[in-house]
Structures are given as structure tokens and as C-alpha cells.
Amino acid sequence: MTASLSDFKKECARIARLVQINALVDWDQQTNMPPGGAEARAEHSATLSELIHGISTSDSYGELLANAEAELQGADPDDDDARLLRVARRDYDRATKLPSRLVADLARHSAISQDRWVRARAENDFAGFAPYLERMFELTREAAEHLGYEDHIYDALIDNYETGARQRQVSDMFADLKPKLVELTQAIAASGRPVDSSILRGRFPIEKQKVVTTRVVSAIGYEFSRGRQDEAAHPFCTNFSRDDVRITTRFDPGYIGIALYASMHEAGHALYEQGIPSEFDASPLGSGTSLGIHESQSRLWENLVGRSRPFARFLFPHLKDAFPDVLDGAQAEDFYRAVNSVSPSLIRIDADEVTYNLHVMLRFELECELLTGALAISDLPEAWNARMEEYLGVRPPDDAHGVLQDVHWSAGIIGYFPTYSIGNLVSGQLWHAIRKAVPNLDDRIEIGSFASILNWLRANVHRHGRKFEPGELVQMATGEPLTSSYYVDYLTAKYSDIYEL
Amino acid sequence: MTASLSDFKKECARIARLVQINALVDWDQQTNMPPGGAEARAEHSATLSELIHGISTSDSYGELLANAEAELQGADPDDDDARLLRVARRDYDRATKLPSRLVADLARHSAISQDRWVRARAENDFAGFAPYLERMFELTREAAEHLGYEDHIYDALIDNYETGARQRQVSDMFADLKPKLVELTQAIAASGRPVDSSILRGRFPIEKQKVVTTRVVSAIGYEFSRGRQDEAAHPFCTNFSRDDVRITTRFDPGYIGIALYASMHEAGHALYEQGIPSEFDASPLGSGTSLGIHESQSRLWENLVGRSRPFARFLFPHLKDAFPDVLDGAQAEDFYRAVNSVSPSLIRIDADEVTYNLHVMLRFELECELLTGALAISDLPEAWNARMEEYLGVRPPDDAHGVLQDVHWSAGIIGYFPTYSIGNLVSGQLWHAIRKAVPNLDDRIEIGSFASILNWLRANVHRHGRKFEPGELVQMATGEPLTSSYYVDYLTAKYSDIYEL
């Protein structure tokens, strides 16, 4: 390794360690911190974030990067080190394009605006929140102009979450998905065969739920020697190195669905991070490559595996073992059907596999229109409600159950929503590839053998870290660019069977 | 507030937040971290420590400090701000007196030497450890020369842990204590009335122990809304602000003594930190003033309160409630006697109140002699064993139970041990003052009313933070300088009663 490259990597490692510490500070806040700690904790986060931002946008960091690039001139552009510099350059240029005044304004307004959103949602008061949302979109537009784009202002924003993704491409994706999902949703509603989910409700003692979720996430390959599971109001996954990847879940003593699927979802994220090669740790390549690819991992384990018939057959004996009374007389097939009930609803995070992407599409359309000015903030609630009715056939009774339900926009997270749907589509496409590569996949799942799935993901997704952009990764892993067809085919086959369409 | 002072305080707050984050990093390591996290965690600590050291010894920090001092010239030297600058100046000068080469050498050798100590203790191999200890004393001597001293090289070191303390003074303190403690120890041994401690052993389910320790630390005033209790192999107290002060304990399902008294001890430290005024938070004044004063708080609650007869009467019904079978037929008085059994033993951390200070004195004497060269490292084990026999009447069967038992010297913590005994003496002197100030103290304790004790400590100790040096604080709180007589009187009266001397 050249001296310049080695110096640069050392500085990257220093920054990465500080970023990992910041993640620990946040993890503690969400899992352990006593109420009294809140005020100081805000200072902890602010101090560390400012320090990290200062170092990673400094001229001296830029010089180290430029020197390393000079040293590597002429190297194979697909070498790990060349890719590392490319990723670091992308991050650095993005971070330094924003004037520090704007970064500070965004941070300050994000805190205020989130706070107002919490109140607005509680009080169902969109009008009171509107000026804050308006300002947030103004600041975001300003940021997008600094970041630059070719075709659509949205491109400057989505690139932050899904490198290389473009508004046009996402727009085409939803144009393709929309009629198929609407049709499937309507066919299910019209089938007159609602699924009985009552089996999921009853007395499920939390201690027993813990035993089950621990068993399940261990079974799919999550390593507790390099992680742990705690409780959090909003389950999440975080990591402080590839060897300390923590998940959280939420327990409802009257409903088994939350803890089980939140655990599988977060374990899906965690398996990705636990599978990053050790040589990438604490480097710009040392994490999942995008939010969409990350979500493909969580959704693959949660849905493609976790809500499959063979998985229900694997899991059900364990559930009966833990909760003999409440599941008395029920069969694995009942459980399979119960966790796959489809019904259009108001809240995105509670949505089933079929309707989920319609929620996302609606948000994507609206944020595009708000950014270009085609839609005014004051017209947003009505636009939301009208589209809910058009796509899902339900109309929110108030804004708290409509446009005020998600935190994202209030926090300045604009251009992010499509990554949820990209994740779903990628999970379907990866699953198709896994099915081709692994013989007798259903039999393996039914006997609780998940190693072949994990090994495939390790070899084709995890081991690359951030080396490849999401588009490249999908192409390499599946042999073709991202398409919605595999996911639509998966949904159609699965729900045609369940609802006898 | 002047601009210079305000700028300096802002920089102090930034450093304090980073120090608090480093404490969180360490807390997590000792309570939650999965085994896989160890390697990255060492990097987290090193990165953050280096950053903190860099900022707090920088020229720019020095300039901010000097500007603030210039602004405050002529102010009352006992104003909070003037004292803050005095403390900050002391810290800065100490930190900048050591060449960075020596700081790095010490850090590096400390890690290596601790690692060798762990092996040496496991393998009872003092000879293998000796070169590392030799080097540690060399480096420490070098550091002491840089720090400077007037009378004794030890003064440069102890000042780091107990500001203003001097070797001569500690030496006099032990000279005074030694004959009295040796005499008391011998009288107890000669009494022929050993105390029965068997009541402390039996089946004490951990969940029940948790209920009891939570009740006890809450009763003495520890606020769980500004803290929490977790498990750790080596119990400790730490804080990330005055409003997030965490304690840990260790549970032995076959012995009630550990968790109970470790909890009270750590809660004693925690009450001090929870009692620091909010206006001192995240400033150079925002913590306990010295290790000795800190230990006076933990020992006061653990021993002066927790091992008193009225406390046994308060606690025993709660214990019987939690462990009815194992305590069947026993009385509060049995418990009181059991937790006050005196018997000379080999291991400092297991020692009773009477013999504890003899263990400390032995270490103080030996580290002084090693520093001056009066004792050679190679002669250390024999010197240790000879003095154990002389002071305590027991001789270690091997070095693992002798000179290798404590981590301190291997880690470069030299000049620290006396703070344990200073803490004990201060606890006795404070207790005497509390007795004078609070009428019916024993009755209050017996009914579980501890507020008058805590309020006295808050008013006379906690509220000052680091504003006053330990010597000043003792004088202010008790009206006289530190003396051993109160502690000796306390021990003599208590154990004469128990052992009918």
C-alpha cells in the first residue's frame, strides 16, 4: 500500500470509529437511557455530529483524498482500493457542495419541524404544521440546487439514499407497478374470501416471545456473539463494527405479529452488516451499499422467507411449544394465512405486502410535485386523501391518519420513500435468483435450514459492502437490471393461491 | 459573562460532552457489548481518547483559557468562575507538562503491561511480569519528574488523584492509624468470639435480589429517573451528565452480601454525581472533587449507614419478605453481626472495615519505596509477604494471592491507593458531623428515612462539585482538617460492642 493511500485510510478509519460511536450514542438513547438523560444526550449527538462533519469535510481530508487518488492513478478501476476512493470522493463532494450555513439551517429546522410535526399529529393540525413543512421543502430545494442534477430536482435528493437512482426510473417503476397492484388489490377485495387473522391475537407472554424471536433470528443466521437484541419503541438495527451489530424489537403481549416480524426484519438488516468483509470494516466500503439494497435484505427475510408457507411449517411447532393454550387446535396453514391477510388500510407501516407499495408510490408522487411546485403545501392534505381513495379505496378520516402519519418530510428526509419499494422489488428479484441457485429451497426452509439462502446473499450481496452501486449490484447478483416483474409475479402467485383468485 | 469566558466555557462543554461519550463507550463495554465487539471497541476508546487529549492540550485551548483568565483578573478568587478557571488551569498545566511522546509510551505500555499482568496472575508468575512492572515504574518516575514536586516524588503522582495531598501527610496518617488498627485487629482475633456469617449464604434468587437492591438504593435517594442499574463483572458507577448517572452491581445467587453492598457502594458514588449542581454540568467543576472524597461518599453509604445496626433493623424485614425460607428464624441482629465479621484476609477487595486500611497502607509504603529506589522490583514479593504477616498476621501462599492481586500498578495507576483510606477517614469525619447536625439519626435510619443524611451531604459536599480542593472541602464541611480520630473512634466503638472487647 502506498503511503498516501495508507494515510487516507487511517483518517477514514478514525472518522468511521467516530460514526460508530455516534451510532452507540443513539442506540443507548433508544434502548437504555433514563428520561433525565435526554437533554445532555442531545448535546452528545450534536457535539459528535459536528465534529464528524468538520473532519470529513475539511480541506485536510480533501488533500489526503486527492493524494491517495494521485497515487492510485492508472489502477484497475474495479480494485477494492480504487472503488474505495471513488465512494469516498462521492461522499466528500456531496458533503462539501452544501454551504455550512445551509447545513446548519437544515439541522436546526429539522429539529424544530419534527417537534412541530409531533404536536401536529397529536392534535390533527395540518395547518399549524404547514409553514414548517413549506420551509423544509424550501431548504431542501436549495440543497438540491447546490448538489446539482441533470433532469429532475428529485435526482439530487434520491441519490443521497440510493446512489445512481433517478426520478425518471422510479417514476417508470411505479407506472409499471401501479395497475398491477391496484388490480391485485381489487381482485382480493372482490374475492369475498377474507383471511382470518384472529390466531395472532391472544395471550402471548413477553418472556416466551423473547425465546421464540431469539430462536428464529438465530436460525436464520444472526450471530449473538456479534450482536444482541433489545427492546425499542421503534425497532431498528445499528452497528458499531461488523462484529457488533445490534437489533431491537417491540413486544405486544396481546399480539404475536409485531415482535416476530420486526425481529426478522431487523435481523435481515443485521445479517447484511454482519456479512460485510472484515477488510472493509471502518472504511468507506464498510456498510450496506444503499437503503434500497438494505431494505431488500430485511424484506427478503421478513416476507419472502418469513411469510412463506414452508416457514410457517417450520415455525409453527415452536410457536405451539411456547404458547400451547392460545394456539390449541390451530395448524401451520392457519398461521400462514393469518400473516398474509391483505386489506387496504390507512397507515403505511401496518400495510400488507400487496398494498404497501401503493402507499410508497403516493408519497413519491406527492414529494415530486411539492418539489417542482406543481402541488402547493396547502393542497397537500386533499391530494393525499384523493389518491388514497383512488389507489387503495380508503379515505383518511383525518390528517393524523393521512398526510401527518410519517416523520420523514418533517425531518427533511425527502427523496427517501422510493427506497422502500426498490427494496421490495430487489428482494423479489434476488429471491428468484436464489430459487434458481438453491435446489429444494422450500424443503430447506421447512426443516429450518437457512444456510443456503444466507450463503447466497453473503456471496452475491453482503461481501461487496459499498464497493458497487445498487444498480451494479443487482445486475451482478441476478444477471439483469432491476425489474418489477419478479416481485409482481411473486405477489400474484402467492395471493392468487391464498385468495383463490 | 464576558465573551472570552463564555467562549472558554463553550469549549469546556464540548470537551466534557466528549468525555461523557467516552464514559458511555466504556459503560456499554462493561454491561452490554457482545464478545465480538471487543476489537472495534478498543479503537473507539483510543480514537476518542486521543481526540479529547488533543483538544484539551491544544494551543488554542490554552489561548482560550488565558483570555478568560485575563478577563477575570481581579475577580473574587472564590467566585464560581474564578474557581472554574483555577481548576481548568491546573488540569491544563498537568496535561501539557507531559511530552506527548511520554503520554503515548505510557498508554502503550499500560495496555501491554495490563495484559501481561492478567497472564501473570493466572499463572502465578511474578518473574514474567517483573520487567513490565519495572518499565512501568521507570515511565512513571519520568512522568513525575516532568510534573514536578517539592518534597517527594510521590507528591507529583498522588496530586493527580487527590489534589493537594502529599506523601508526608499520607505517611503521617498511616503512622497514626497503623498501631490502632493492628491493635484492634489483634484484640478481635484474641476475643475468641467469632461472628457467624452463615446467614448471608443460601439460595438468594437473582430476580429477588434485584427487587431488594432497587428498593435499597431508591430508599437512600438514588433517582432511577436520572440513572439505571445494570450488571457488571466489576461493579462501577459512571455518568454521562448529572442527570444520567448509572450504577452496576454483581449478583451471586448463593450469597446476598455482594449485590447488596456493591449496590450501596456504587449508589453512594452516584448520589454525589446526581447532586452536582446543574450549573456546573459539562464544565471543569461538574464532577466530584477527588477520588478520596468520592470514596468517602460510597463508603459512608456502604458502611457507616449500610453496616449499621439501625440499617439492619430497617432492611431485615425487606430481606425476610424477599427470602422467607433462607432467613427463617433469623433476626436483624444476626444480620447486623454477619455483615460485620472481621478477619484478616489476603485480598484487599474482600477485606472488612477494620483490616481494609492495613491493605492500603502496605501498598502505599511499597509504591513509595519502589519509586525512590529503596526497594527493587525483584524484592517486591518478599516485601509484600513479610508486611502482610507483620500487619495482618497472614502470609500469601503465592503471588497471585499477594502482590499480583491488584491491577493498578500494571496499568500505571501509581499514587492512587491512599485515596481508598482517605475516603474511609473522610467518611468517618463526615459521619461525626452528620451525627451532630441531625438529631435522632439512628431512629431515622431504622424507619428508612435517609433524606436528612442526603440533604446534609448535598449541602456540604455535593453542591460544590470540583469547586474546592478535598482539603478545603473537609475543613468547610466539618470545621477541622482531616484527622483519623473519628474513623478510629467509630471502628473501636462498633467492634468493641460486636466482639465484646
Q: What is the pLDDT of residues B370-394, one digit of tens each?
A: 999 999 999 999 999 999 999 999 9
Instruction: Answer whether A224 touches B (CB < 8 Å).
Output: yes
- Beta-carbon contacts of B185 under 8 Å, excluding residues fewer than 6 positions away, are B342, B344, B354, B355, B358, B392, B393
Q: Give residue-wise pLDDT tens across range B416-457.
A: 999 999 999 999 999 999 999 999 999 999 999 999 999 999
pLDDT score of A108: 87
| Smallest Cα distance from B7 to chain A, Å | 15
Q: Give residue-wise pLDDT tens across range A132-177.
A: 999 999 999 999 999 999 999 999 999 999 999 999 999 999 999 9
Look up residue B124 and give its DSSP letter.
T
Cβ within 8 Å, pair A24-B25 = yes
Q: Give residue-wise pLDDT tens across range B226-240.
A: 999 999 999 999 999
Q: Is the pLDDT at B107 greater than 80, yes or no? A: yes
Mutation pick from A9, A19, A21 vs chain B, by most beta carbons of B within 10 Å, is A21
Q: Is the pLDDT at A2 greater than 80, yes or no? A: no
Nearest residue of B to residue A12 by CA position?
A: B47
Q: Is A110 helix (H, G, I), strand (E, B) or coil?
A: helix
Q: Is the pLDDT at B1 greater than 70, yes or no? A: no
Cβ within 8 Å, pair B40-A240 = yes
Mean pLDDT of the A39-59 span: 93
Q: How confident is the model at residue B108 (pLDDT cuts 50, 70, 90)?
A: confident
| Smallest Cα distance from A36 to chain B, Å | 5
Q: Give residue-wise pLDDT tens across range A195-235.
A: 999 999 999 999 999 999 999 999 999 999 999 999 999 99
Q: Is A51 helix (H, G, I), strand (E, B) or coil?
A: helix
Nearest partner of A270 among A209, A207, A233, A220, judged by Cα: A220
pLDDT score of B302: 98
In chain B, the percentage of residues whose pLDDT exceeds 90 is 97
Contacts with A231 from chain B: Cβ below 8 Å: none
Q: Is B183 a catalytic residue?
A: no
Q: Give residue-wise pLDDT tens across range A455-496.
A: 999 999 999 999 999 999 999 999 999 999 999 999 999 999
Q: Is the pLDDT at A1 greater than 80, yes or no? A: no
Nearest residue of A to residue B19 by CA position?
A: A44
Q: Is B286 helix (H, G, I), strand (E, B) or coil?
A: coil
pLDDT score of A100: 87
Q: Give residue-wise pLDDT tens across range A349-405.
A: 999 999 999 999 999 999 999 999 999 999 999 999 999 999 999 999 999 999 999
Catalytic-role residue among B11, B266, B302, B367: B266
Instruction: Answer whether B23 touches A (CB < 8 Å).
Output: no
Residue carrying C-alpha cell 395472532: A200
Residue A277: how many CB atoms within 10 A of its CB? 17
Angle, vertex CA A497, rays to CA A494 and CA A499, nearest 5:
105
**Going by CATH, does the domain composed of B113-196+265-307+338-501 fall within 1.10.1040.10?**
no
Contacts with B60 from chain A: Cβ below 8 Å: none
Cβ within 8 Å, pair A228-B32 = yes
Q: How far is CA A334 from CA A302, A311, A330, A341, B459, in A?
A: 18, 13, 6, 11, 66
Q: Is the pLDDT at B100 greater than 90, yes or no? A: no
Phi-psi region of B393 (alpha: psi -120 to 50; beta: other; left: phi over 0): left
- Beta-carbon contacts of A497 under 8 Å, excluding residues fewer than 6 positions away, are none
Cβ within 8 Å, pair B240-A20 = no
Looking at the partner chain, which of A34, A41, A241 has a beta carbon nearest the beta carbon of B227?
A: A34
Catalytic-role residue among A266, A273, A365, A446: A266
pLDDT score of B40: 94
> Strand A229-231 and strand B237-239: pairing?
unpaired
Contacts with A54 from chain B: Cβ below 8 Å: none
Nearest residue of A to residue B31 by CA position?
A: A32
What number of CA atoms fall less than 13 Å from residue B140's CA on the CB side? 29
Centroid of chain to Cα A393? 26
Q: Is the pLDDT at B68 greater than 70, yes or no? A: yes
Q: How far apart are CA A314 and CA A311, in angstroms?
A: 5
Instruction: Answer whether B347 touches A (CB < 8 Å).
Output: no
Mean pLDDT of all residues belonging to chain B:
96
Contacts with A35 from chain B: Cβ below 8 Å: 225-226
| Smallest Cα distance from A282 to chain B, Å | 9
Q: Give residue-wise pLDDT tens across range B151-200.
A: 999 999 999 999 999 999 999 999 999 999 999 999 999 999 999 999 99
Instruction: Answer whether A60 touches B (CB < 8 Å).
Output: no
Complete DSSP assignment for A302-333: IIIITTSHHHHHHHHHHHHHH-TTTTTT--HH
Q: Tell me if B27 sits within 8 A of B238, measured CB to CB.
A: yes
- Beta-carbon contacts of A259 under 8 Å, excluding residues fewer than 6 positions away, are A206, A209, A213, A249, A250, A251, A252
Domain ranges of chain B: 1-97, 113-196+265-307+338-501
Q: How confident is the model at residue A94 (pLDDT cuts 50, 70, 90)?
A: very high
What count of residues does chain B have?
501
Instruction: Answer whether A254 touches B (CB < 8 Å).
Output: no
Looking at the partner chain, which of A25, A37, A227 has a beta carbon nearest the beta carbon of B243?
A: A37
